[in-house]
Amino acid sequence: GAVVSQHPSRVICKSGTSVKIECRSLDFQATTMFWYRQFPKKSLMLMATSNEGSKATYEQGVEKDKFLINHASLTLSTLTVTSAHPEDSSFYICSAQRGLGEQFFGPGTRLTVL
Amino acid sequence: QKEVEQDPGPLSVPEGAIVSLNCTYSNSAFQYFMWYRQYSRKGPELLMYTYSSGNKEDGRFTAQVDKSSKYISLFIRDSQPSDSATYLCAMREAAGNKLTFGGGTRVLVKP
């Protein structure tokens, strides 16, 4: 399968700071990338869909000013959690769609806000 | 009722047994069906990707789709302890790219 990387894999930050997470498709170009959030023992919750060169489409209930998404190139999308608070602590996972087909997921980023 | 139903398990089998997983769904517009494996604290790994009804085999894995019954299955032959993970089914409509996931089934393969 195709390879998608995420960086950092783990981040701990203080309340009120902003955290940026990078998602890269390493061996294919992804016109569409997705950001998910996963709570312990739960399935993935789609936060937003990101298309290269255009604004992200956010799911209902996801604050776009809180979770800033930038899809600057066909291989890179970033998620910035602004003014993070303890309730933002979670496992964030990105995925990249190859063409109109499969979605490949990154390894995830564990965010802990103190 | 959820759009995609999946038994959460846990499903415990002895090493070497066949693992049988399934999902049911209600949206007849779903055309693409996927199975992902997720280890604890890791991202999901794509195992099988199928279109419409039929069977697909890849190594120890066989995916089946029965659109008439709105039922999909994944079989893992000769299961290994390393197959212990959570298995997620996912599906999407032909026109869109948003995936709808099942809740995941936790599988434990005992040596």
Of the pLDDT bands very low, low, confident and very high (cuts 50, 70, 90), residue A101 is confident
The residues pairing with A78 across neighbouring beta strands, listed in sequence order, are A22, A70
**Is the per-residue pLDDT at A103 higher than 70?**
yes
Mind listing the pLDDT tens digit for each residue in B28-78? 999 999 999 999 999 999 999 999 888 999 999 999 999 999 999 999 999
* DSSP letter assigned to residue B83: G
Q: Provide the pLDDT for residue B67.
A: 94
**Could you tell me if B49 lies within 8 Å of chain A, comparing CB atoms?**
yes
**Other beta carbons less than 10 A from residue A16's beta carbon:** 10
How far is A11 from B57, CA to CA, in rounded Å? 39
How far is B15 from B35, CA to CA, in rounded Å? 21
How far is A60 from A98, CA to CA, in rounded Å? 25
User: B82 — phi, psi (to 5°)?
Assistant: -70, -10
User: B81 — phi, psi (to 5°)?
Assistant: -55, -30
Taking an 8 Å cut-off on Cβ atoms, the answer to whether A42 and B45 are in contact is no
Mind listing the pLDDT tens digit for each residue in A44-87? 999 999 988 888 999 999 999 999 999 888 999 999 999 999 99
DSSP string, A1-32: ---EEEE-SEEEE-TT--EEEEEEESSS--SE
Interface residue of B32, B50, B97 to substitute, partner A, most A CBs within 10 Å? B97
- State how far Cα B86 lies from the chain centre: 9
Q: Which residues of A touch B3 (CB under 8 A)?
A: none
Q: Which residues of B touch A32 (CB under 8 A)?
A: 97
Of the pLDDT bands very low, low, confident and very high (cuts 50, 70, 90), residue A1 is low
Give A26-29 contacts, CB < 8 A, sequence gap 24+: A26/A2, A26/A75, A27/A2, A27/A3, A28/A2, A28/A96, A28/A98, A29/A74, A29/A75
| Structural tokens at position B51 | 């279109």
User: What are the CA-CA distances from residue B75 to residues A79, B59, B60 (Å)?
Assistant: 36, 11, 8
| Contact of A35 with A92, CB cutoff 8 Å | yes
Percent of chain A topping pLDDT 90: 82
Distance in Å, alpha carbon of A68 to nearest chain B alpha carbon = 19
Q: Which residues of A touch B41 (CB under 8 A)?
A: 91, 108, 110
Work out the mean pLDDT of chain B and round it to a whole number. 95
